[in-house]
Amino acid sequence: MRLFDKRIISHFDYLLIIYILPLVLVSYHLIGETNERLANKQLVYFTISIFVFMFIFILPIRKKFRIIPSLYWLGIILLIAVEFVGITKLGAARWLPIPFLNTTIQPSELFKPVFILMLGFLIQHKPPPKNGYNLLDFSYFSFYILLPFILIAKEPDLGTALVLLLVGYGILFIVGVNWKIWATIIIVIAVASPFIYTYLIKDYQKKRITDFVSEEPSYHVQQSIIAIGSGGLTGKQSGEATQAQLKFLPIATSDFIFAYFVERYGFVGAIGLIILYSLIIIHLISMNYYFKDDYMVRVFASGLGLLIFFNMSVNILMVIGFAPVVGIPLPLFSYGGSSFINFIVTFAILENFLVFRYMNLYNYERKMYSFSKERII
């Protein structure tokens, strides 16, 4: 098999790379301004992500769809293991130790691409009818969405759990579910909300909600709003960005990097960054129009687009005080290895689906060509 057939590479989505590069470069620049050591570590993560992308990209994923359910259930086992042997940090058990390596992994992060793959696998084998999925079908898909949601929320990591929940049901909404089901869900959520708040939400989560609805935002958000306001229309020079440079702005390279970005580049920069994210999301969601019969591409592109949208929206709303403070990073922008590499993995899987979707046809043509040459000889 000739892996790099010209026809195969012609299907590579170069536009996604063009959109992602500015995010990566500006992020590295900002991190380097505040902490050179973290910038060097982020550079290591970038390098690792390139090799991870290349490895995932050449895998014969389309020929190995049958192992996707096994990966899903392996992820579920890891999420269950967190309950029993997970390492607790800042009051939450989200990490598993790796023996002999003196490091940890976060199963909820690793599970994200597998989660979208599983939904694609299920929908590929059970495409939506003309009028959308009925209640039985919806319940079937809901089982695979709600199971990881419950396990991750129990860690507790309500932010990540809600993002996965919204991504899962967002995919079903895009692919097609009967409108009566959505109407019923909205009514049920409205009626059940008081019960959920009273009995299912933990005290620290209630405090975040209380801080959010109260007139006085938390210290983190106050400093973030000051940084955003001080950026003005066009921003400040690095030395003048005192909120980040003098450490008033907490976690300026991670969860609150958007505030530092606005302090440096102002309102104009903020609008530009949001437009760039919007272009990525629209580009991914629009693949539903171009690949109507390839549900793996449709589901994975939609899932990735929704994952970026919800992570970006929650992070920005959190930073400007319009949402409770949760540990959700700005996609491909915040400092950190696990989240960044995880997004690169999802992009690599999508590019793999796009590039190799005609691989069987190309192999068949080459076999027929070789067979014809042998007969002539």
What is each CA distance from 149 to 34, 306, 327, 344, in whole angstroms?
35, 16, 16, 23
d(CA 175, CA 197): 31
104-142 burial, b for 16+ CB within 10 Å, e for fewer?
A: ebbbbbbbbbbbbbbbbbbbbeeebeeebbeeebbeebb
The pLDDT of residue 231 is 87
Q: What is the pLDDT of residues 72-95, one digit of tens each?
A: 999 999 999 988 887 776 566 677
Q: Which two tokens stand for residue 181?
A: 């089901």
* Total Cβ atoms within 10 A of residue 367: 10
Q: Which two tokens stand for residue 256?
A: 């609150």
Which pLDDT band holds residue 376 (cuts at 50, 70, 90)?
A: low
Average pLDDT over residues 248-260: 85
Q: Which residue is listed with tokens 């005192």?
A: 242
Which pLDDT does position 155 carry in this prediction?
82
Q: What is the pLDDT of residue 163?
A: 92
In this predicted structure, the answer to whether residue 361 has a pLDDT above a threshold of 80 is no
C-alpha 368/C-alpha 377 separation (Å) is 14
Name the pLDDT band for 369 (thresholds 50, 70, 90): very low
> Cα(76)–Cα(68) distance, rounded to whole angstroms?
13
Average per-residue pLDDT in the chain?
A: 85
Token digits of residue 183: 């109407």
Distance CA 59, CA 353 (A): 10
Q: Is it the case that residue 375 has pLDDT exceeding 60?
A: no
Q: State what percent of residues in the chain have pLDDT above 90.
A: 47
Least confident span in 146-155, 186-195, 287-296, 336-345: 186-195
Distance CA 24, CA 331 (A): 10
Q: What is the pLDDT of residues 26-82, one digit of tens each?
A: 999 999 988 889 899 999 999 999 999 999 998 989 888 899 999 999 999 999 998
pLDDT given at position 205: 63
pLDDT of residue 1: 44
Least-confidence region, from 176-180, 223-227, 282-286, 303-307: 176-180
Task: Classify each residue of 167-201 as buried b or exposed e, where b means 16 or more C-beta atoms within 10 Å of its C-beta.
Answer: bbbbbbebbebbeebeeeeeeeeeeeeeeeeeeee
| Cβ pair 156, 93 in contact under 8 A | no
Beta pairing, strands 103-105 & 87-89: unpaired
| pLDDT at residue number 141 | 95
- Single-letter residue type at 303: G
> What is the rounded average pLDDT of the residues 144-156?
90
